Chain A
Amino acid sequence: MILAALGLLTLFLFPMWRITLIAPQYPDGVTMHIWINKIGGETASTIQNINILNHYVGMKYIDQESIPELKYFPYIVIGMVVFGLIAAATNKKGLFLIWGIVMVLLAIAGIYDFYLWEYDYGHNLSDTAPIKVPGASFQPPLIGSKLILNFTAKSYPHISGYIAGLSILLAFSAWWLKSKFNKKHEKIAATDSIGDGNARRLSTVA
């Protein structure tokens, strides 16, 4: 449970999602990184280059200052780290389960929010856009790959996104190990076999 809680801190070290645009004249691709607290890219100039592309079809400029989620998400994450550490310290399997479920709900909320932003960027186009494609949307895929005009857009979780997912799995594993240990403990009340001890310790660490 400790690893699950601390794993969330990697959200501040690595991007959690990435969207890559691929076209022949961009041999290296253009890769945008979404962090818990900022929008970045593979290079310092990636966002400028994406904005230059987007303005032809009238998409809004991507400006991290205009996305409030980037301001308050970090506090939620820190809250969840603290909650997770308390759960580990008190070693209550109920808390492990609650932490895991809250994380799943937060992830669903986060991904839905991400979808709303994508929808907004992809559909809410300027009336004065130089290039207008009737009926076209420029919304990147939520997850997966999609052809948008001359670009293939690929959207997938990135390093810290995967680690956060692993944290949720770890929390549920901790809950499961703990349950297993408690059940055995009830059956053989006197003994504390090595394996059972490991499961108990493992659940705390996980």
Chain B
Amino acid sequence: MKSHQGLLPFLSFLFTAAGLFLVSSCGNQGSTTQQQGALGNDAASQVYVAPGEYDEFYAFMSGGFSGQIGVHGLPSGRLFKVIPVFSVDAEKGYGFNEETKPMLNTSHGFVPWDDSHHPELSQTNGETDGRWIFINGNNTPRIARIDLTTFETAEIIEIPNSGGNHSSPFTTENTEYIVAGTRFSVPVPQSDVAINSYAETFNGMLTYVSVGDEGEMDIAFQILLPAFDYDLAHSGKGKSHGWTFFTTYNTEQKNTLLEVTASQNDKDFIAAINWKKAEEYIQQGKFKEMPANWAHNVYNEKTHTATSTMKKKVKVLTPEDCPGLVYFLPTPKSPHGVDVDPTGEYIVGNGKLSADLTVHSFTKMIAAIEAGSFETTVAGIPVLKFEDVVAGVVKDAGLGPLHTEFDGKGNAYTSFFITSEVVKWKVGTWEVLDKASTFYSIGHLMIPGGDSKKPDGKYLVALNKITKDRYLPTGPELCHSAQLYDISGDKMKLLLDFPTIGEPHYAQGISADKIVPNVKKFYPLEENEHPYRTMGEKDTRVERDGKNVHIYMTSIRSHFAPDNIEGVKVGDKVYLHLTNLEQDWDVPHGLAVMGANTGELLVMPGQTETMVWEPKSEGVIPFYCTDFCSALHQEMQGYIRVSPRSSNIALKWSLGEEEPVQ
């Protein structure tokens, strides 16, 4: 309890500071609104994207606890699509139709939800390339890859030996790897041990996921580390290409009341991983193959179907066996984000319980390693001396620094959670240049390409956790928000403030030019390899296999074929395989069946999707198209007759008895 008392003055200072700020910000509300009003016309013209015009940038905002990704345009802030990733989405049938259920399979079975934090665009030569965007699942450790030609989730890989995939999925310069560090250390392998044996029996694990030319992910290797919390990461670029930096907290190795117990050490570590060295050790066979259990789920764009494969092994490197693989850089006060500047020289440790920012030098780090100048070793890992690696400190910039991005013009922008502000500072001189308030409680911030070698330093987006009085109230639960700043001049200028889905935890932005030319308009029907596809209306049919009834159905404006089906019985398991025969842009058809215990189907042109429906009572059940497709959308409907189990009515299907099917 002694240690608690020691910390109390500091904590109370934090809370007082936060409380004062909230009070003062409420008081200032009127004047800030007036200020914005004065800027109003100017700002409005900067974010106005005329009807029919395109935004300059895509912004991919994580949905946080929604598990999804929101696709917005900048500077307008308009929301274009919510991409289902880790959570089921009844609107799109994701996780409800038979084709996408395997995407959410894990070693724990079907998990219908996750907490998606950090979207990360693929990179080539350290620049965003618009091929894919990756995102971590925080709760049941996973990484997803979204294909940016279709804006659909193409792959999900589970991370074994991890207890919370937070420091993920930050990429290397050419997307050789994306990383996954465990936030919560756990027994590795999992076992039934006393929780308070944490320091002795738990471990942290960092994972390198390789990414192939077609985006295919695999677990290349894992690195077994001491039981700390591995919080965030960024890989080096340019001169520091070949390294990844992970922040840690709880180097105290405590397992209860972490808000106090894990905030005791004056300095925690940034773990610097030499992944090129790791590749050498893997080549040399210096790994242990550990049994593991993880799911690898892949969506095939030709069969329009996902498959889930369980993998049973993983290669693990331990620092004791692999000298030169891991070094610790002491960094003050539970560093949260770790961000590498566009040159690759500076590594910013955002010490979240501090007022200062610590910036390490990559060159100095390498020199210290070569000189063998170590303060101590922890679990066989050399700890470098703080004064040997530190390049500079940004002093008294604000309170609670979390994340830093760069504008490519020699400036850095850091979010300060406790004081709700963005602070602009100069890389190299460490002087504070400007401050801008956020409304309220900023977490991450984002500049398009702001964590790459080539930032597009025109806009900055603040991603806020709390909105309080910013919008029309919607009961106890309020939206989170994003705020857009113009950073093209010396002073940051607030332009726009817009709500997002879930929690906009982190975001990535990219020039629309890198994506728009590659976006697909529909799936060519002749490439459809779904085992239950129907290539034309003449192939539509209904087949019975015991209690399973397979309906091979098609949709085209404005009818289903067949649309009258008889011979289905109570207790049957009915598979409605709907192929959308349309071959034009923006003509999906939906399918809803009265009483089906599942979501709708929403089938893109050229695609096949399957709904399972188990009728429980006799009657005539209507079905219809849910996506307004045409002038005769409302006529796009049909009936399925459900007869008693004992009935001997034959299967019968038809479309337009008076007129032959075209």
- A55 engages B662 (CB within 8 Å): yes
Least Cβ–Cβ distance between A35 and chain B, in angstroms: 20
Q: Does A45 contact B (CB under 8 A)?
A: yes
Docked complex: A31-53 residues within 8 A CB-CB of B = 43-45, 48-49, 52
Q: Does B632 contact A (CB under 8 A)?
A: yes
Q: How far is the CA of A38 from the CA of B636 in the complex (A)?
A: 32
Nearest residue in B to A53 (C-beta to C-beta)? B557
The listed residue (A48, A128, A131) touching B583 by CB distance below 8 A is: A48
Q: Does A112 contact B (CB under 8 A)?
A: no
Q: Does B180 contact A (CB under 8 A)?
A: no
Least Cβ–Cβ distance between A66 and chain B, in angstroms: 13
- A56 engages B556 (CB within 8 Å): no
Q: Does B91 contact A (CB under 8 A)?
A: no
Report B-chain residues with C-beta under 8 Å of the C-beta of A48.
Answer: 583-584
- B631 engages A131 (CB within 8 Å): yes
Q: Does B659 contact A (CB under 8 A)?
A: yes
Least Cβ–Cβ distance between A130 and chain B, in angstroms: 6
Report B-chain residues with C-beta under 8 Å of the C-beta of A49.
Answer: 583-584
Q: Does A61 contact B (CB under 8 A)?
A: yes
- B632 engages A45 (CB within 8 Å): no
Q: How far is the CA of A28 from the CA of B557 in the complex (A)?
A: 20
- B584 engages A56 (CB within 8 Å): no
Q: How far is the CA of A48 from the CA of B556 in the complex (A)?
A: 10
Report B-chain residues with C-beta under 8 Å of the C-beta of A28.
Answer: 585
Secondary structure at the A interface, as helix, strand, loop or mixed, is: loop
- B583 engages A130 (CB within 8 Å): no
Least Cβ–Cβ distance between B554 and chain A, in angstroms: 13
Report A-chain residues with C-beta under 8 Å of the C-beta of B556.
Answer: 52
Q: A45-B584, A48-B583, A52-B556 are in contact. Are A61 and B632 (CB under 8 A)?
A: no
Nearest residue in A to B526 (C-beta to C-beta)? A44
Instruction: Count residues of B near A (Cβ-Cβ below 8 Å).
Output: 13
Q: How far is the CA of A55 from the CA of B582 in the complex (A)?
A: 14
Least Cβ–Cβ distance between A43 and chain B, in angstroms: 8
Report B-chain residues with C-beta under 8 Å of the C-beta of A43.
Answer: 583
Report A-chain residues with C-beta under 8 Å of the C-beta of B630.
Answer: 56
Q: How far is the CA of A59 from the CA of B521 in the complex (A)?
A: 27
Nearest residue in A to B525 (C-beta to C-beta)? A45
Q: A44-B583, A131-B631 are in contact. Are A52 and B659 (CB under 8 A)?
A: no
Docked complex: B620-662 residues within 8 A CB-CB of A = 630-632, 635, 659, 662
Docked complex: B541-580 residues within 8 A CB-CB of A = 556-557
- A61 engages B662 (CB within 8 Å): yes
Report B-chain residues with C-beta under 8 Å of the C-beta of A44.
Answer: 524, 583
Report B-chain residues with C-beta under 8 Å of the C-beta of A55.
Answer: 662
Q: How far is the CA of A131 from the CA of B582 in the complex (A)?
A: 21
- A45 engages B583 (CB within 8 Å): yes
Report A-chain residues with C-beta under 8 Å of the C-beta of B631.
Answer: 56, 130-131
Least Cβ–Cβ distance between B380 and chain A, in angstroms: 63
Least Cβ–Cβ distance between B619 and chain A, in angstroms: 29
Report A-chain residues with C-beta under 8 Å of the C-beta of B524.
Answer: 44
Q: How far is the CA of A45 from the CA of B522 in the complex (A)?
A: 11
- A128 engages B662 (CB within 8 Å): no
Most chain A beta-carbon neighbours within 10 Å: one of B524, B583, B630, B662: B583
- A56 engages B583 (CB within 8 Å): no
Least Cβ–Cβ distance between B458 and chain A, in angstroms: 27
Q: How far is the CA of A49 from the CA of B585 in the complex (A)?
A: 10
Least Cβ–Cβ distance between A182 and chain B, in angstroms: 58
- A52 engages B557 (CB within 8 Å): yes
- A56 engages B662 (CB within 8 Å): no
Q: A52-B557, A56-B632 are in contact. Are A128 and B659 (CB under 8 A)?
A: yes
Q: How far is the CA of A176 from the CA of B494 in the complex (A)?
A: 75
Q: How far is the CA of A124 from the CA of B83 in the complex (A)?
A: 46
Interchain residue pairs with CB less than 8 A apart (22)? A28-B585, A43-B583, A44-B524, A44-B583, A45-B583, A45-B584, A48-B583, A48-B584, A49-B583, A49-B584, A52-B556, A52-B557, A52-B582, A52-B584, A55-B662, A56-B630, A61-B662, A128-B659, A130-B631, A130-B632, A130-B635, A131-B631
Closest 10 pairs between A and B when the two form their complex, measured CB to CB? A45-B583, A49-B584, A52-B557, A130-B632, A48-B583, A61-B662, A56-B631, A45-B584, A128-B659, A52-B556
Q: Assuming A44-B583, A49-B583, what are 16 further A-B pairs, CB within 8 angstroms?
A: A28-B585, A43-B583, A44-B524, A45-B583, A48-B583, A48-B584, A52-B556, A52-B582, A55-B662, A56-B630, A56-B631, A56-B632, A128-B659, A130-B631, A130-B632, A130-B635
